[in-house]
Amino acid sequence: MKQTRQPVSIGREQEVIHWIETVGEGTPMRAVAPFRAAGWSIDGGAARVAGGGHKPLSETLEELLYEEFVTKRTKKEKVTRSWLASMVLTLYASETAELPSPPPFAASDYWVSNFMRRFEISLRRRTNLTVLDDDVLVNRAVCYMSFLREQVPTIDLEKTVLMDESVVYFEDARASTLDFTGARHVVVRSTDFASMRITVALAVSATGRKLPPLLVWKGKAAPTFEKRSGPLYVARQPRAWVDSELLKKWIDLAFPFVVHGEGKCLVWDSMRAHISKAVKAKRGYWDL
Give per-residue pLDDT as tens, 29-39: 777 788 788 77
Q: How far apart are CA 234 and CA 218, in angstroms?
A: 11
Q: How confident is the model at residue 85 (pLDDT cuts 50, 70, 90)?
A: very high
Q: How confident is the model at residue 113 (pLDDT cuts 50, 70, 90)?
A: very high
How high is the pLDDT of residue 228?
A: 83
pLDDT reading at 5 higher than 60: no
Q: How confident is the model at residue 69 (pLDDT cuts 50, 70, 90)?
A: very high
Average pLDDT, rounded, for the chain? 80
pLDDT reading at 79 higher than 70: yes
**Which percentage of the chain shows pLDDT scores above 70?**
83
Q: How far apart are CA 187 and CA 202, in angstroms?
A: 28
Q: How far apart are CA 111 and CA 89, in angstroms?
A: 12
How high is the pLDDT of residue 141?
A: 87
How high is the pLDDT of residue 89?
A: 92
- Computed from CA positions of residues 112, 117, 119, 125, in that sequence, does the dihedral angle turn out positive or negative? positive
Q: How far apart are CA 204 and CA 210, in angstroms?
A: 4
DSSP H helices, 119-208, are 134-151
How high is the pLDDT of residue 68?
A: 93
pLDDT reading at 57 higher than 70: yes
- Positions of E strands within 248-287: 265-267
> Which of 26-40, 44-58, 171-185, 188-202 bottoms out in mean pLDDT, i.e. has the lowest?
44-58
pLDDT (mean) for 131-138: 78
User: How do beta strands 214-218 and 232-237 pair?
Assistant: parallel
